[in-house]
Amino acid sequence: QDLVRHHLSNIEKKSHLNAFLSVFPEEALERASLIDQKIKNGTAGKLAGLVVGIKDVLAYTGHPLQASSKILNGFISQFNATAVQRLLDADAIIIGRQNCDEFAMGSSNESSAFGPVLNDADNTRVPGGSSGGSAVAVQADLCQISLGSDTGGSVRQPAAFCGLVGLKPTYSRISRYGLIAYGSSFDCIGIFAKCVEDVAVVLEVIAGADDEDSTVSRLPVPQYAEELSRTLSKSYKVAYVREIDDAEGLQPEIRDAIQRKLDHIKNAGHSVDVIDFPLQEYVLPTYYILATAEASSNLSRYDGVRYGYRSPQTTDLQSLYKKSRSEGFGKEVQKRILLGTFVLSASYYDAYYTKAQKVRRLIREKTKDILKQYDFIVMPITPTTAFKIGTHTDNPLEMYLADLFSVQANVAGVPAIAVPCGEDKLGLPIGLQVIADDFQESKLLHFSDALT
């Protein structure tokens, strides 16, 4: 209960950060008192008393759920997302619902219908996105762990901007049941924490088979936390992609910080090879074509009829759809629905959608080839450190470039983690990204733990 009170008081003190859309004080305190009892009786679950915040894309029974969008005004979850249910079953305490970019579309948390989230390291800067509220909540000690979602970097990129550890597991490792869909073939639930060990414990609780999601893997879930303490290997083979150094707009301090880390990795007895990844320039366009295509289809269900916002100005069914969607969705979401509808339209389907699917397969194959020869690929997560609020709002291309390094893991479906890797000259955190092969989370966590 003390822990919950501590976080509740921090949430109040730091309300200007706008990290939470709702807080559940009575409920959290009540659960805490039950769990205090269980701890005394020796019957408490693995996450007893862990104070968790959830991004506003995860269903939690009886609580509002709206993907930071006006179109879901008034919507209340009827069931728990599987990940949420497993947290609760392990006696974690959910303290609130966290702000994010609308429908998880964005890289700065500026597209929320409820206003931007501020970075606690510098309130004039963005926390990254789309899981910005979830990142800031851990950064500012408003909760211990957050669950976010990572479709193209939304956990790793804000983790980097806020100096945290952020994991995107293998696609299908964690059930997506109860996660609001953005790009279903990319979407992963991810975990924010201050250290790798916390990520490991939460992952082993929420990962694994689920009858509610036919795409989730049935592979057994390792005891990730326990495996952290095992010596898996003394000498890993690490790959660094040559094309990264020439990438557009890469901040020199990030390049230097990564180079220093690579030296450190070599000195620790691992090998580092510089390799070619000629497909690098196609990763971002492939992601944005496919993610917007999937989003346009996923978001067609918000029609003003079934749930959420309905425009009061309607005269017939057509105008009900049009007005509810035009008034309910924000600009970024509308733009992506249009883009996605365009690439899926009969005349352009083959030129864009089919081609992007083919390129995606090539990117996955090439990434997997590298990961057959190497244990990890190491690269930056973001080309820059946290930028000022408003910097890219008028230039979507610039904003999309913030995802240059994060989308590869989603396009290929492999797991990737962000870990802190020093600061720039303004004292803003720099993140390092480590990518591993499918279902190699144990190894990934083990290696990244040694790096921090």
Query: Which strand (E) or helix (H) includes residue 283?
Result: helix 280-298
Nearer to ligand GLN, 114 or 321 (CB): 114
Instruction: Give the whole-angstrom CA distance, residue 435 versus residue 371.
Output: 9
Decide if 52 contacts 192 (C-beta within 8 A): no
> Is residue 130 reached through a cis peptide bond, with omega within 30 degrees of 0 on the bond before it?
yes
Residue 50 vs 180, nearer CB to ligand GLN: 180
| Minimum gap (Å) between residue 366 Cβ and ligand GLN | 21
Kindly state the smallest distance separating residue 395's Cβ from ligand GLN, in Å.
14
CB-nearer residue toward ligand GLN: 288 or 447: 288
Residues with catalytic roles: 55, 130, 154
Distance between CA atoms of residues 414 and 435, nearest Å? 7
Among residues 54 and 88, whose Cβ is nearest to ligand GLN? 54
Q: What DSSP element (H or E) covers 271?
A: strand 271-275
Sites of contact with ligand GLN (CB under 6 A): 104-107, 130, 149-154, 182, 291, 403
| Backbone torsions φ then ψ of 433, nearest 5 degrees | -115, 135
Nearest one of 442, 264, 285, 271 to 373, comparing CA atoms = 271
Q: Are 386 and 121 in contact (CB under 8 A)?
A: yes
The alpha carbon of residue 331 and the mean position of all alpha carbons in its chain are separated, in whole angstroms, by: 21
What type of residue sits at position 406?
S
Alpha helices in 14-81 (DSSP H): 25-41
End-to-end CA gap in the chain:
31
Place of tokens 């952290």: 228
> In angstroms, what is the minimal distance from the CB of 62 to ligand GLN?
25
Q: Closest separation between CB of residue 181 and ligand GLN, Å?
A: 11
Non-local (6+) Cβ contacts of 95 within 8 A are 4, 7, 8, 11, 23, 24, 28, 51, 52, 53, 142, 143
User: Which residue of this chain has its Cβ atom nearest to ligand GLN in the complex?
Assistant: 154
Q: Residue 409 phi/psi, 5° resolution?
A: -60, -35
Closest approach of Cβ 218 to ligand GLN, in Å?
A: 25
Closer Cβ to ligand GLN, 106 or 208, answer by number: 106
**In the complex with ligand GLN, which residue's Cβ is closer, 107 or 298?**
107
Cα 64 from Cα 97, distance rounded (Å): 8
Question: Measured from the CB of residue 132, what is the shortest distance to ligand GLN in angstroms?
Answer: 11
Q: Between residues 308 and 340, which has the closer beta carbon with respect to ligand GLN?
A: 340
State the minimum distance, in angstroms, from the CB of residue 106 to ligand GLN.
5
The DSSP H or E segment spanning 197 is: helix 196-206
